[in-house]
């Protein structure tokens, strides 16, 4: 895929700052899946996630020259997509909260495995979390990031991040009680 030996993100980001579109292409290949996944988990909708990921990546190209410390490129990129996804969520017309007690239709609960029912319940419960909590929980529990990394991404202190994740978990545990 790459015509050079594996270069660190920081080197590629610096080249992309200078206008090397090939370097940016390589960075995209490395990070596009995570960018899309964050958007998808926060937004809960594939089409919205694709739009948000695309806007975030184009924004990254335009804003990249302003990034001084290229060593934090990935955190910077994930921050852009997280913020865009959160903005998109917040600008949605508020819908009635999803009933967490009921599994969604489709194949019918009796044909779904226990695991997929549980996963469905979790997805619905996530959709009802306040967006800030949802983003922190996703970055920690699904993307496996540290509190410090998440703090950089959501622009909060690690302590605040810890608090949000804690509240998110309390809510989710509660929601799964309803599901039972």
Partner 1 sequence: MAVEPTDHDRLPCGTDLTTLAGHLAEGALTAHERNCSHCRGAVRRLRALDSARDDLASESVSAPPQLLDEVMRVVRTEGRPGRALPVPPEQHGVTRVREPAAARILRTAAETVGGISVGRCRISEEDEGLSVLLTARVETGAAIPELAEAARRAVRDAARHQLGWTLIRVDVEVVDLS
Summarize as ranges the residues that interact with partner 1 (CB under 8 A): 4-5, 7-8, 10-15, 17-21, 24-25, 28-29, 32-33, 35-37, 40, 46, 50, 53-54, 57-58, 61-62, 65, 70-71, 97, 99-100, 115-116, 118-119, 121-123, 128-130, 133, 141-142, 144, 166-180
Q: How far apart are CA 168 and CA 61, in angstroms?
A: 33
157 or 173: whose CB is closer to partner 1? 173
Residue among 80, 65, 91, 44 at smallest CA distance from 154? 80
**Least Cβ distance, residue 98 to partner 1 (angstroms):** 10
H helical segments located in the chain: 9-17, 21-43, 46-63, 73-91, 114-127, 131-137, 147-154, 158-179
**Least Cβ distance, residue 80 to partner 1 (angstroms):** 13
32 or 83: whose CB is closer to partner 1? 32
Q: How far apart are CA 140 and CA 159, in angstroms?
A: 13
**Least Cβ distance, residue 180 to partner 1 (angstroms):** 7
**Least Cβ distance, residue 162 to partner 1 (angstroms):** 10
Q: Which residue has the tokens 């969604």?
A: 104
**Least Cβ distance, residue 46 to partner 1 (angstroms):** 8
19 or 108: whose CB is closer to partner 1? 19
- φ and ψ at 151, to 5 degrees? -55, -40
Angle of CA points 122, 52, 85, to nearest 5°: 50
46 or 106: whose CB is closer to partner 1? 46
Q: How far apart are CA 86 and CA 93, in angstroms?
A: 13
65 or 109: whose CB is closer to partner 1? 65
């Amino acid at each position: 895929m790459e015509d050079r030996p594996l270069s660190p993100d920081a080197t590629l980001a610096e080249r992309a700052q200078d206008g090397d579109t090939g370097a940016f292409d390589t960075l995209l290949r490395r990070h596009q899946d995570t960018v899309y996944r964050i958007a998808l988990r926060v937004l809960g909708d594939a089409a919205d996630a694709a739009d948000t990921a695309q806007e975030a990546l184009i924004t990254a190209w335009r804003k990249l020259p302003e990034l001084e410390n290229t060593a934090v490129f990935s955190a910077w990129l994930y921050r852009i997509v997280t913020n865009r996804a959160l903005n998109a969520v917040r600008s949605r017309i508020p819908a009635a909260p999803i009933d967490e007690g009921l599994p969604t239709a489709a194949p019918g609960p009796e044909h779904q495995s226990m695991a997929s029912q549980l996963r469905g319940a979790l997805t619905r419960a996530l959709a009802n979390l306040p967006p800030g909590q949802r983003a922190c929980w996703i970055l920690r529990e699904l993307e496996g990031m540290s509190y410090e990394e998440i703090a950089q991404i959501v622009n909060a202190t690690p302590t605040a991040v810890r608090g949000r994740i804690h509240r998110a978990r309390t809510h989710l545990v509660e929601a799964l009680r309803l599901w039972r």
